[in-house]
Structures are given as structure tokens and as C-alpha cells.
Amino acid sequence: MPPKINAAFVEKVLIAFIRDELGRCGCAKALVGLSGGLDSSVCAALAARALGPENVLGLIMPYGRAFPEDVRDASALARKLGLRHETIDIAPQIDLYFAAHPTTSRVQRGNKMARERMSILYDFSVREEGLVLGTSNKSELLVGYGTVYGDMACAINPMGDLYKTQVREMAAHLRIPAAIRRKAPTAGLWPGQTDEGDIGLPYEELDLILFGLVEGHKSRREVVGAGHAAAAVDRVLRMIGRSGFKRALPPIAKLSVRSVGHDFLYPYDRGK
């Protein structure tokens, strides 16, 4: 695992960040898509502490009756935190779409569902006059394990600089129920899918490799020398390299002397 974090201090920083960002937009409320997994639970708990639970809306968006235990865990968490929450079944619109445009690809179906959930969150963002909080952690962002414009879409992301193993530390600190902390991490795109199966490494090892490469500025050779299998390090490097587009805004073809994204440069928090 990467070095332990001071979870109480991180909580303080992230609570201040959530309050600052919402305050700048004149928003009192936040929305979190609750999957019943670790990241969204930690994010919701932080938001509840930052804004008061009455100002956080948890949206639980299952596909029909798939993953009933996740829906149960998500609802139980929302009740424990005292959040307002709502369950919306996305099966009708997903089934309608794939009836017209069939596919056999599980990934394609899963991505479509992730984007449907994003679409609902953003619609509720307007209804609630609140901001959508992102739940993608640093491990996922670095290897690109997320659906672009799906679960990666958000107004602000309090979780994006915490490795998955550090999110686990935060979950213990924030007293997230054991049922959520103990389950195998999954993107939930299809039954039986697990993050670690897809990524091909347990998070403990993935995070250590990432920590060496990113924080440690170590070379491939040095990370392998530190005791990681060359195949694992190569796999991680490949995932980082291939997913760069998910971590950047799309390039704009430059034509003029001052262009958006190139040399028309203003802070995100400008005038807020």
C-alpha cells in the first residue's frame, strides 16, 4: 500500500474543498450517485459532513433487479447518513435503446448505463440547483478505469487524489458500514465483474506500482527492481498510456492567435 494518510486531516481538507466550491457557485446542495460501493459511499459521507445531510441527494440508479444487495446497501447508507435519497430504475430507457440498436458487448451496454446515470444526475442537478460530485478515485483515473462522460463526469471531484487503498482508509475513518467496506470493488457493468479482475491486479499492488511511478517519479526498471512483476508494471504503464484522453479535455484545432484551451487561460474558479 502507499504510505498511510492522516484520514482526519484529509477529511478536513476535503470538507473545506466541497464547501468552497459549492459556496463559489452559490449552491447549497450536492448530488451523489450511490452505487452501494466504497467510493460513492465515502464521497456521500464527506458531502453530508460538509453540507449537512439534508443538503445531499443520493441517487440510486439500478438497472432493473440486477445487484439487489448493492441497492440495499446504498439505501441503508443513505438512511444511516440521513441523506435524502431516491431510487430510479434505468432499465426502461436502456432496454428501449438496445431493442432498437442491439449489441452483444457487455462493455457497450455497461457504458451506456453509466452515461444514462450521468444524464439523470445532471438533470437532477438542475432540479435541485446542486452540483454533481465525482467519485472517481486516483487509481481509476490513472489507469482509465471509468466511463468517459459516464461515471467520470462531475462538477467537482473530492476523491480524485486518493488511491483506492486510501479511500479504504477514509471509509474506515468515516465509519462506512462493513457490508460496503468488505465487498469486492466492481464497476457493476455486468454481474460477476470485479475491478481487480478487469485490471488484472489487486488494488494493493496496483496502488504501490502507481505510487512508485507517479509520486516517486520512478522508471519502469526501478519499479520492477522494487519487487513488482515486469508484466504487471508493463500492464499498468500500458493502461496509463492508453487512457490519457480520459484525463484531459479534448484538443481544439488551433487557428487564431488566442484560442480556448490553448492561450485563453482562466481559472476554473474564476468569478465564482
Partner 1 sequence: MKIALAQIAPKLGDVEANIDAHLKIIEKARKQKVDLVCCPELGLTGYTLKDLVEEVALDPASDPRFRKIVAATKGLSAVVGFVLESPKDRGLYYNAAAFIADGKVVHVHRKVFLPTGGIFEEAKFFAQGRDFQTFKAPFGRVGLLVCRDFLQYGSNYVHYAAGADLIICISAAPGRGVAGGDAFETSRMWELMGEAVSFFSTAFVIYTNRVGSEDGVTFAGGSFVYAPGGRLVARGSAVDPELIVCRIDLADVREGRRKWLFKRDEKPEAIWRSLERIVRAPED
Residue 217 engages partner 1 in binding (rule: CB under 8 A): no
Q: Which stretch binds partner 1 (CB under 8 A): 3-11, 47-55, 60-68, 79-87?
A: 3-11
Per-residue contact flags (x/-) with partner 1 for residues 21 to 60, judged by CB under 8 A:
x---------------------------------------
Beta pairing, strands 84-87 & 56-60: parallel
What would the grid cell of residue 192 be? Answer: 460477476
User: Residues 6 or more apart from 205 whose CB is under 8 A from it?
Assistant: 228, 232
Does the protein bind partner 1 through residue 227 (CB under 8 A)? no
Binding mask 133-172 for partner 1 (x = CB under 8 A): -----------------------x----------------
Given a contact cutoff of 8 angstroms between Cβ atoms, the answer to whether 50 and 81 are in contact is no
Show contacts with partner 1 in window 56-115 (CB under 8 A).
Answer: none
Q: Rule CB under 8 A: is residue 4 a binding residue for partner 1?
A: yes
**23 three-class SS:** helix
Q: Which of 1, 3, 64, 119 binds partner 1 (CB under 8 A)?
A: 3
Size of the site for partner 1 (CB under 8 A): 23
Q: What share of the chain is helix, strand, coil (3-state, %, to 5)?
A: 55, 10, 40
Q: Which of residues 242-271 bind partner 1 (CB under 8 A)?
A: 264-271
Cα–Cα dist 30/1, whole Å = 31
How far apart CA 170 and CA 204 sit, in angstroms, is: 15
